[in-house]
Amino acid sequence: MIVTITINGKKESLQIEPGDMLVDTLRNAGHVEVKKGCDTGNCGVCTVLLDGKPIRSCSFLAVRAEGHEITTIQGVAEEARRFADFLNREGADQCGFCAPGFALTVIAMKRELKNPTEEEIRHYLAGNLCRCTGYESQHRAIRNYLEADHA
Amino acid sequence: MEIKEYVRPSSLEEAYQLMRTRHATPLGGCVWLRMNAKPVALGVDLASLDLDYIRDTGDMIEIGAMTTYRSLETSNLLAKQYGKLFPEALSHIVGVQLRATISVGGTVAGRYGFSDLNTTLSALGAKVVLYPGTITDLATFIAEGAESPFLVEKILLPKGVRGAYQQIRITRNDFPILNVAVAWTGSAWRVAVGSRPAATRLCHAAMQMLGSDPCPSDQTIEAASMQAAEETSVGSDIRASHDYRKAVLPVLIRRALLEVRG
Ligand SMILES: Cc1cc2nc3c(=O)[nH]c(=O)nc-3n(C[C@H](O)[C@H](O)[C@H](O)COP(=O)(O)OP(=O)(O)OC[C@H]3O[C@@H](n4cnc5c(N)ncnc54)[C@H](O)[C@@H]3O)c2cc1C
C-alpha cells in the first residue's frame, strides 16, 4: 500500500506493508537520522514529532502517519544545533546515539511547556535513555538552553 | 509487526462484524500488540472511529477507547474531576512519547497484570461499554473477562469521586512491583490492587471495614490496610517476591487512604 506523509515539510508517497513501524518506513525512505534503538518502545532513541508532538516511531504504525506531518531532527536542524551548543558546553553529549531523539523531545517540551519546573523537565525527558552521561550534565544543558531564551 | 490483511473501518458496526465473522484483531495503540511475534491475519484499525475523546455528559465522564494515556494525563476535564490522580498513575509509564500512542481500549481489553490504568479505573468504579452496548463493571471485567469477540467502545467514570494512587517500582520507568488505588465515592470506599503481579482485584473485606465514613480513624485505616494485604493474593516474579509484596502492600494502601481522607 502507498501512504502519503509530510516529512520535514515535504510530501512523500511511500510504499509500505500495513504492519510496518514508522521508524523503518522513515529509514527506508532515507531518513536515517531517525535512529533505531531498543525497538520495544523503551529507549526513546527513535523519537520523531507527529504534528509537533513526540512519539516513538518504533511503536507507531506507519499507516497511521498518512496525512500527518512528521518532523525528524533534520526538520529542526537549526534549533537542534543551537541546543547542541549547550550540550557541548556541559560535556553532555558523548556517543551521540540518543541525541536526535533526545534533542527532539527537548524541543517539543520547550514548545509545549512554559517555564517547566525541574520536576516537569525530568518527567518529560524520563523516556529518553542515555547510557553515557548519567543525565545530570544533560539537565544542566537543558536548563541553560531554556534560560537563554529568557535572558 | 506483520499484518497480513488490514482494514480501517469507518463505523463500529463494521469493525465489530469483522471481528465476529472473520476473527479480526482490533488494533488499538499497537504498542503491546507489536511485541507479539505471531502475525495478525486481519487487523481492524480503530483509528478512524472517532473514539479519541474525554467528555462530560453531565452525570459522568466518558473516555473513548482510542484515547491515549497522554490525553488522560494532560486533560483539564479529568484534572478538574480527579485532581492529580491520572498524571500520578500514568506518568511513570516509559515516557511521554509512548504514552502518546498507548490506548485506553487496548489496556482495558488486554487486562494486563501490570496495568496502572486498570487499577486506577477499578478504584474509581468505572464501567466499560462493549459495543454494541453491554455495560459492565470494569473491575469485574478485569477479573472475569468477556465472551469473545468483544470491542471496547468507551469507559464511563462516575463524577464526584476522590481517588489516590500509589506504586512501587525498581526504577522509574520499569513495570510496577505493585500498584494501588483507593477512592471515596461519596458513599463508600473502594480499594484496588494491581501488579500482584496478576491483574487488578478489589479488596472487598477492606472496603467493608472502611464502611461509609468519609473520615475513617487512623486505627480503621491501619486495620483496613492490613486487611487488604491479608485478603489479596500476591505472587513472586522477576521484580519481587511474594513476601516483599505482602510487606509493602499495607504501606501503599495506608498512604493512599490517608491522602484521600486528608
Ligand atoms: C515498553 C513498555 C512498557 C510498558 N510499561 C507499562 C507500565 O509500567 N505500566 C502499565 O500500566 N502499562 C505499561 N505498558 C503497557 C501499556 O500501558 C498498554 O497497556 C499496552 O500497551 C496496551 O495498550 P495498546 O493501546 O498498545 O493496545 P494494543 O497493543 O493495540 O492492544 C492490546 C490488545 O487489546 C486488543 N484491543 C485493542 N483495542 C481494543 C478495543 N478497543 N477493544 C477490544 N480489544 C482491543 C488488541 O487486539 C490486543 O489484543 C508498557 C508497554 C510497553 C511497550
Q: Quickly state the pLDDT bin for A50 (edges 50, 70, 90).
A: very high
Same structural domain for residues A57 and A87? no
- Going by DSSP bridges, is the β-strand pair B134-137/B151-158 parallel, antiparallel, or unpaired? unpaired
Q: In whole angstroms, give the CA distance from residue B92 to residue B94.
A: 6
Q: How confident is the model over A107-143, as pLDDT tens digits? A: 999 999 989 999 999 999 999 999 998 899 999 999 9
List the single residue in B1, B6, B97 with the smallest CB-CB distance to A54.
B97
Question: Can you give the pLDDT of all 262 residues of chain B as single tens digits?
Answer: 999 999 999 999 999 999 999 999 999 999 999 999 899 999 999 999 999 999 999 999 999 999 999 999 999 999 999 999 999 999 999 999 999 999 999 999 999 999 999 999 999 999 999 999 999 999 999 999 999 999 999 999 999 999 999 999 999 889 999 999 999 999 999 999 999 999 999 999 999 999 999 999 999 999 999 999 999 999 999 999 999 999 999 999 999 999 999 9
Q: State the count of interchain CB pairs (< 8 A) between A and B.
A: 75
Predicted TM-score of the model (pTM): 0.97
- Integer-rounded Cα Rg, in Å, for chain B is 18
Residues 180-209 of B with CB under 8 A from A: none
List the single residue in A19, A44, A59 with the smallest CB-CB distance to B31.
A59
**Average model confidence (pLDDT) across chain A:** 95
Ligand 1 pocket, mutate which of B19, B27, B32, B111 (most atoms under 8 A from CB): B32
Q: Are A124 and B40 within 8 A, CB to CB?
A: no
- Ligand 1 center to residue B255 CA distance, Å? 28
In our burial notation (b when 16+ CB lie closer than 10 A, e otherwise), range A29-40 reads bebebbbbbebe
Q: In whole angstroms, give the CA distance from residue B115 to residue B93.
A: 10
- Let me know how long chain A is: 151
In CATH, B54-158 is 3.90.1150.10:
no
Domain count, chain A: 2
Ligand 1, atom 37: closest residue by C-alpha: B106
- Ligand 1 center to residue A40 CA distance, Å? 13
Same structural domain for residues A38 and A102? no
pLDDT of residue B223: 98
Identify the domain containing residue A51 by its residue range.
Answer: 2-74
What are the residue boundaries of the structural domains of chain B, listed by start? 6-44, 54-158, 162-261
Ligand 1, atom 21: closest residue by C-alpha: B32
Same structural domain for residues A52 and A107? no
In the sheet where B25-27 sits, what is the strand order? B3-7, B40-45, B25-27
B162-261 adopts what CATH topology? Enolase-like; domain 1 (3.30.390)
Question: What backbone phi and psi angles, to 5 degrees, belong to B89?
Answer: -75, -30
Same structural domain for residues A38 and A92? no
- Ligand 1 center to residue B150 CA distance, Å? 16
Question: What backbone phi and psi angles, to 5 degrees, belong to B240?
Answer: -165, 155
A58-B67-A73 Cα angle (round to 5):
35
- Integer-rounded Cα Rg, in Å, for chain A is 15
Ligand 1, atom 36: closest residue by C-alpha: B106
Among the listed residues B131, B123, B227, B127, the one whose alpha carbon sits nearest the alpha carbon of residue B185? B123
Angle at which helix A77-89 crosses helix A136-150, to 10 degrees, equals 120
Read off the CATH number of the domain in which A141 is found: 1.10.150.120
Predicted ipTM of the assembly: 0.95
Is the predicted pLDDT of residue A150 greater than 80, yes or no? no
Domain boundary among A12, A45, A74: A74
Residue A41: closest C-alpha in chain B:
B98
Single-letter residue type at B259: E
Same structural domain for residues A116 and A89? yes
Q: What percentage of chain A has pLDDT greater than the value 70? A: 99
pLDDT of residue A93: 87
Is the predicted pLDDT of residue A151 greater than 90, yes or no? no
**E-assigned strands of B75-205?**
127-131, 134-137, 151-158, 162-168, 178-184, 189-194, 201-202
List the single residue in B34, B40, B97 with the smallest CB-CB distance to A55.
B97
Single-letter residue type at B223: A
Same structural domain for residues A47 and A62? yes
Read off the CATH number of the domain in which A69 is found: 3.10.20.30
